[in-house]
Structure 1
């Protein structure tokens, strides 16, 4: 049943992936993406929830300003998004939650797929597969450089399986197409809406991260770090750099001081830590004492407590740098993640479920990672309420790493992931 289904739906998976790849959208601005997902799910017969029905709007973090939101909304309308749909999403309320109740006794399974892109200009060289095949991003400076176009296609493939085999399935299914994963901004808003409150088993995962052969999947991951994302503004006083330098208060120097000193935060004995200054802008001209500067910073730690240590040290350094140069500093918290501890008890279940798959060739018990994931809010909520949760990896070659302008993956991994999820769903039925 599943092998035939996966083979037959593969052309559609590729079509969805390539279409979405050409129209990437940043977090909380995935209007076109949400619309395309929602229309497909609606056609299949799912009960769909969009906008404030899908997420707790007040729990969103790092929402773009109104000007950017309006610009993307108008662009999405030009791409064919219906006005009735846009009204549900306006103001950055993107993402879809789809539910299906078989009305037969069984467990409640939740699956999450992230849908946002990154602010990266995609490579246009002929050795870059999307460029060579004609589906490179049409949005300059925005790119699916982390595989979320594939994740969305995977989710739609799973949805098609549920709809097609509804008469043989049991229990309930909640499919979450989450906005704004990048920067740890969207999952908490979905979680706070209550979608994870009564999930028995929760599954999510990622294409790549580790370069495994296509056909290899990891049933669990170890090493995701808790993280906090900060936007920092320094405000000084502008002055003529030649005639009155003593009257100026240099915001650029405050940011530069902070940038160098943040990397001097002592490591923690309790586990790994990270600090990164990803963006810094300042000043307006060579003969003007810089009045303003801006930084985008993130901290990470193996646990929430260790991340809190790095964050406190970062805040201390930021305040000290401002005081050194006699400028003001303000900080905006725009994202966060928690650590993830997958349920090892799902390893034998996933392994056994995928044994009969002709697509999945190997199931690793776990994969070691070191990034951060806001799906942590979802996994931790499920586990807190007595359910089981895991974060999987789906193998592919990675000539270039995630978040690189030439990032790409072997498209066959999309079919592998769909088939793995299908066997997990079927295994859950037999388990019942």
Structure 2
């Protein structure tokens, strides 16, 4: 369904949910600066907070892997409809969109990822995963809940919306490139800017961390089959040893970063998979290796991809072996770097400081991990920030992301929900004054 049709439906719905106030005109600078704190106070109210906790725990109990988030998606749809928010469902398989506001431009989006990981949960709790071999070990259950919390805040403060907020609930962030499929489904058509977040158990609760420019690296995957000739370990001269060839390949791949890349252009090549042989006295016919490559620019990613194939094929040939190399495919696309728009960074800082205070808004060093929010940033100005979830008072160290002992800190829910809502509302209000943020440039390079 086109945006114009959704806009009509939202306009009709707004007749029932509009709250007339003296704030029909744009807020004063003082009123504008008070919005984030007011939203945070609303999110901290027992009724709102308890509701978010219930949702988060229900999602946590029922984790679903990439493109299998059917129950999660249905839960979100039901909650949005309960709030009177129009939605489009399904999108990109299991995703969905919600629409809050006037139904008219400008459009701004806020996004959450929904998928879990293929891991067995080791945390004992009343809301432990009911699905064996699956758990929310990256906090996406918290991400979804905070976006629903933002939806509740936005609907309650409908009169402040000078445009439309698009709520993007996205499947398959963990390697499946769900953002790419959401874009292909038209999810951000006509959207001027998009915001997203990720929780971090190393950043203190109540703080946020951010930076303009590169935040997370782009990432690609490779696999290689190195074929030789099997034989007895006692007579290696009658065999062609693919294990030796693969070992030389791995050593040579490490030299791509140490000897071919600019030391100031961070890159990583990691071989994390090595499979070959099943007996201590038999040289196998073939060996399989695989890994990832990461960089902060598209140019560097493409160079690494080219050289990885050349090195694997060439080094295998030196040892009389053959090699075939494959890279990402449609189901597992290569992720571009996550690069934050510089003007949106200023917008984020203003909003976050108004909500949390300047001491709670900290810098964040770039990381070599990848995030598929980057696909949105290739199309429109986007901003991705880090939400602290570390419990400083806890006796034990918080489990890290992707750990079977990880558990999202629910005390962070109000901050994330209020920040989502505040960033969107303030963006729309500032757009009305003729000072929209975001420079609209595509980010291919540092």
Q: What is the CA distance between 1:250 and its match in structure 2?
A: 5.0
Structure 1 residues 426, 320: closer, same or farther in 2, change over 3 A? same
Kept in 2, the 8 Å contact 1:242–1:287? The answer is: yes
Aligned residue number for residue 256 of structure 2: 265
Aligned residue number for residue 63 of structure 1: none
Kept in 1, the 8 Å contact 2:226–2:288? The answer is: no
Specify the structure having the higher radius of gyration (Cα).
2
Aligned residue number for residue 84 of structure 1: none
Identify which range, 146-155 or 227-236, moves more after superposition: 227-236
Kept in 2, the 8 Å contact 1:236–1:327? The answer is: yes
Q: What is the CA distance between 1:183 and its match in structure 2?
A: 2.7
Stretches of structure 1 lacking an aligned partner (at least 5 in a row): 56-92, 125-130, 384-388
Kept in 1, the 8 Å contact 2:200–2:388? The answer is: yes
Aligned residue number for residue 378 of structure 1: 376
The runs of at least 4 consecutive aligned structure 1 residues that moved more than 6 Å come to 242-247
Aligned residue number for residue 348 of structure 2: 350
After superposition, residues 195-344 of structure 1 pair within 5 angstroms as 195-208=187-200, 211-220=202-211, 222-234=213-225, 236=227, 239=230, 241=232, 250-267=241-258, 268-269=261-262, 270-286=264-280, 288-323=282-317, 324-333=319-328, 334-344=332-342
TM-score with structure 1 setting the length: 0.76
After superposition, residues 53-68 of structure 1 pair within 5 angstroms as 54-55=91-92
Equivalent residue pairs, number: 378
Kept in 1, the 8 Å contact 2:67–2:94? The answer is: yes
Kept in 1, the 8 Å contact 2:148–2:417? The answer is: no
Q: What is the CA distance between 1:362 and its match in structure 2?
A: 4.5
SS at match of 1:266: helix
Structure 1 residues 102, 221: closer, same or farther in 2, change over 3 A? same
Structure 1 residues 363, 291: closer, same or farther in 2, change over 3 A? same
Stretches of structure 2 lacking an aligned partner (at least 5 in a row): 1-37, 391-396, 433-446
* Cα distance in 1, alignment partners of residues 320 and 77 from structure 2: 51
SS at match of 2:68: coil
SS at match of 1:259: helix
Kept in 1, the 8 Å contact 2:179–2:372? The answer is: yes
Kept in 1, the 8 Å contact 2:175–2:333? The answer is: yes
After superposition, residues 109-128 of structure 1 pair within 5 angstroms as 109-122=108-121, 124=122
Matched, 1:149 2:150: no
Aligned residue number for residue 368 of structure 1: 365
Kept in 2, the 8 Å contact 1:271–1:302? The answer is: yes
Kept in 1, the 8 Å contact 2:89–2:96? The answer is: yes
Q: What is the CA distance between 1:159 and its match in structure 2?
A: 2.0
Q: What is the CA distance between 1:276 and its match in structure 2?
A: 1.6
SS at match of 1:368: coil
* Cα distance in 2, alignment partners of residues 412 and 21 from structure 1: 15
| Residue deviations 1:135-183 (CA, integer Å, cap 9, x gap) | 3333444332222121111111122223333344231121112222223
| Residue deviations 1:90-125 (CA, integer Å, cap 9, x gap) | xxx33223334524x552111111122223333x3x
Aligned residue number for residue 385 of structure 2: 392
Matched, 1:95 2:106: no
Matched, 1:11 2:50: yes
Kept in 2, the 8 Å contact 1:253–1:325? The answer is: no
Aligned residue number for residue 159 of structure 1: 151
Kept in 1, the 8 Å contact 2:162–2:429? The answer is: no
Structure 1 residues 271, 249: closer, same or farther in 2, change over 3 A? same
Structure 1 residues 348, 327: closer, same or farther in 2, change over 3 A? closer
Q: What is the CA distance between 1:42 and its match in structure 2?
A: 3.7
Q: What is the CA distance between 1:416 and its match in structure 2?
A: 0.9
SS at match of 1:218: strand
* Cα distance in 2, alignment partners of residues 321 and 352 from structure 1: 53
Matched, 1:421 2:420: yes
Structure 1 residues 277, 242: closer, same or farther in 2, change over 3 A? closer
* Cα distance in 1, alignment partners of residues 120 and 194 from structure 2: 34
* Cα distance in 2, alignment partners of residues 399 and 420 from structure 1: 23
Kept in 2, the 8 Å contact 1:229–1:296? The answer is: no
